Amino acid sequence: MLSGIWYDDSTYPSNPNGNALAQEATNAAAHFGNTTAASNRNSYYVVLSPHGTGPDNYQSTSTGYCAWHDYTGDSANLSGGAVATPYGNIAFSNQPYNMDFTYLGQSECGVGFVNGSSGTLDGYTMTMGHEFSEMESDVDPSSAWVNPGTNGGTKYYENGDECAWIQPGQPGGAANVTFGSAGTFAEQSIWSNDDNSCDISHPIVSHGTSSGNTVTVTNPGNQTGTVGTATSLQLAATDSASGQTLTYSASGLPAGLSISASGDITGTPTTAGTSDTTVTATDSTGAAGSTSFTWTISSSSGGGGCPAAQLIVNGGFENGTSPWTGTTGSILEPALYGGTAHTGNYAAWLDGYGYPATDTLALTVTIPSTCKSATYAFWRDISTQEITSTNADDTLKVQVLNPSGTVLATLHTYSNLDADNTYDRSSFSLNQFIGQKITLKFTGTETDANGGTTNFLLDDVALNVN
């Protein structure tokens, strides 16, 4: 893997900034003959500075660091600006002689972290390995892998950041690693998406002998509908592997219905009859799972019903808080706090405080008795920092209550395990409540049981009837 070492004996600049270090990486590319974008696509240059130097002010007591990696075209983060190389973007790391970095008599970069008094180079090799592992998964920061925050760890951290400075002997702790005849060096663990934890070693997975991922589609039960009446059904599925994106398809849908890639079946049936419907979810490795159910469409009665209407007032939260009740302070502009609305500028942001709390939002609506169909839908965006892939610690309940406050139905309970950092549509039939006055209520409960907070964002709440 190591292609060569170049000693640049030109005069070392005084406290070079990021731009100067990027230029040195460019010089190294030229030295090694990598003078095309293609030759640098899979190359990486480590710029090592000598003892007694201060590249990019790394010993600052307020903004100091032990090492970093970047690429020459990073205009947002390179101090001094990006370098427009004639050889394409070049990935490199800045490796100071960080054994020099002390503050109040203590090493700031891991001297002796693993091997005590004999471990002068411990932090040096650990930080070099840290940057190398991050470069492999995020060559041009941050354009590739950073933690999505859905399966443990810390959102937006790279794979080395997740596991930095864990004490030896602890789970995922730093340790000595033997690199064949090259020797044994102190290294930190890195994040594993396979088991959602920090691993100092891990068996090779999916290397030609794995049986593959398991995709399970939740069966929604047999469905019914009426010719000429719009319908909506959101399918759900799980994958045994983390970080997979599922794409849905369907066969045997009633005429007039179609399924989106995200599993939302919508449309208006055109033909009466019973269909044998199969829905399949496929992940990015090609692994797939299916479920089957019947869908019976009845003939239209040819009259009656209520005029098509949307009954939720201020479902997009763009017009203040009325008629919503509960924790109305959760209706805000998400962009002011690092989030987004689904449409418009406002949304409801339940929980996300970083301490145990419960938020509620509710409104009351009457579904006319003449209606034949009532479909309740909204968009949800769930993100989490909970460090668990098994426990539903923070929850969002979607409920229907009567005017006295008695729960008539819990339509669904979402949790930190449903986090995917994007807006997804939820849809539920409320046909059983036609002719009733009901309260629609969201309850977000945050426990922070596993060291992290969960955000539940809601937008574009609607109740369509006809």
CA 335: distance to chain centroid?
A: 18
* pLDDT value of residue 192: 82
Under 8 Å CB-to-CB from 229, ≥6 apart: which residues? 268, 269, 300, 372, 373, 466
CA-CA distance, 463 to 429, in Å (whole number)? 9
CA 268: distance to chain centroid?
A: 34
CA-CA distance, 408 to 402, in Å (whole number)? 7
Q: What is the CATH number of domain 215-298?
A: 2.60.40.10
Output the furthest CA–CA distance in the chain (Å, rounded): 90
Please, which residues bridge with residue 282 across strands?
247, 288
CA-CA distance, 213 to 216, in Å (whole number)? 10
Is residue 431 within a helix (H) or strand (E), and if so which, with residue range?
A: none
CA-CA distance, 98 to 381, in Å (whole number)? 42
Q: Identify the sign of the CA torsion 69, 74, 79, 84.
A: positive
CA-CA distance, 49 to 452, in Å (whole number)? 38
* pLDDT value of residue 207: 44
Length of the chain: 466
- ∠ CA 54-56-61, nearest 5°, is 75
CA-CA distance, 33 to 40, in Å (whole number)? 10
CA-CA distance, 15 to 21, in Å (whole number)? 10
Cβ atoms of 282 and 249 within 8 Å: the answer is yes
DSSP per position, 97-116? -GGG-EETTEESS-TTTTTG
* pLDDT value of residue 348: 96
Please, which residues bridge with residue 274 across strands?
296
Q: Which residue has the tokens 């209706």?
A: 331
Please, which residues bridge with residue 362 across strands?
325, 441
Amino acid code (one letter) for 88:
G
**Of 246, 244, 151, 149, nearest in space to 206 by CA:** 244
* pLDDT value of residue 131: 93
Per-domain boundaries in the chain: 18-199, 215-298, 309-465
Sheet of 44-48, strand order: 44-48, 91-95, 68-71
* pLDDT value of residue 272: 79
Give the chain's residues under pLDDT 70: 104-105, 142-144, 149-153, 155, 203-211, 300-305, 451
Select the CATH number that applies to the domain covering 309-465 from these four: 2.60.120.260, 3.20.20.70, 2.30.29.30, 3.90.1150.10. Answer: 2.60.120.260
275-316 confidence digits (pLDDT tens):
878 899 998 888 888 888 888 888 765 555 688 889 999 999
194-245 confidence digits (pLDDT tens):
777 888 887 655 444 445 788 999 888 888 888 888 888 998 998 888 888 8
Cβ atoms of 133 and 1 within 8 Å: the answer is no
CA-CA distance, 85 to 462, in Å (whole number)? 52
**Of 73, 81, 54, 77, nearest in space to 65 by CA:** 54
Q: Is 151 helix (H, G, I), strand (E, B) or coil?
A: coil
**Of 76, 79, 12, nearest in space to 47 by CA:** 12
**Structure tokens given for 191:** 């994040």
